[in-house]
């Protein structure tokens, strides 16, 4: 069994790579792609849902060796999100009240990374094929962070 390496160029106007230290209200980003984030990207390319990933792909993908080269570190940028508008929030006395929560999320702007994934030849070939024709749209941030302007006709 020989090993092979797949190289991924990850760059875009916004990127976010979650960290375990992130709290719900304040979401920081790691300075470079995380293995769990890259595996999530690979699962999206393969069309594997979160529910199916633990049984179908995570054991194999977790065995990949990963290295990251930071070519352009990017600039850290904060955005504010309103979460739960129109939903009830729990209060200390045990009840709920209508309300929304303001959260802060950190992103990397204009960063560029080269990710190397080393694994078995067949797996690397499957991943390369999936990345060339992804089943689902690939994002470097959560889709809710991307604001698409409405056309003038709407």
Q: Which domains does the chain have, with CATH numbers?
A: 3-142 (3.30.70.2660)
pLDDT of residue 105 exceeding 80, the answer is: yes
Which one has a higher pLDDT value, 90 or 109? Answer: 109
pLDDT for position 50: 85
pLDDT of residue 154 exceeding 60, the answer is: no
Confidence band for 34, pLDDT divided at 50, 70 and 90: very high
Say if CB 57 and CB 41 are below 8 A apart. Answer: no
Query: At which residue do the structure tokens 């960063």 appear?
Result: 111
pTM of model > 0.85? no
Burial of 88 (0-12, 13-18, 19+ CB in 10 A): exposed
Average pLDDT over residues 6-32: 87
């Amino acid at each position: 069994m020989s090993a092979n390496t797949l190289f991924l160029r990850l760059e875009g106007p916004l990127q976010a790579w979650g960290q375990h230290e992130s709290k719900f209200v304040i979401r920081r980003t790691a300075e470079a792609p995380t293995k769990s984030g890259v595996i999530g990207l690979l699962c999206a390319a393969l069309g594997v849902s979160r529910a199916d990933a633990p049984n179908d792909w995570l054991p194999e993908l977790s065995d990949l060796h990963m290295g990251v080269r930071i070519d352009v570190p990017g600039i850290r940028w904060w955005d504010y999100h309103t979460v739960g508008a129109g939903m009830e929030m729990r209060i200390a006395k045990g009840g709920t009240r209508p309300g929304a929560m303001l959260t802060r999320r950190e992103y990397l702007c204009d960063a560029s990374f080269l990710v190397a994934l080393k694994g078995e030849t067949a797996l690397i070939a499957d991943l390369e094929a999936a990345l060339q024709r992804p089943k689902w749209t690939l994002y470097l941030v959560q889709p809710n962070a991307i604001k698409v302007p409405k056309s003038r006709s709407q």
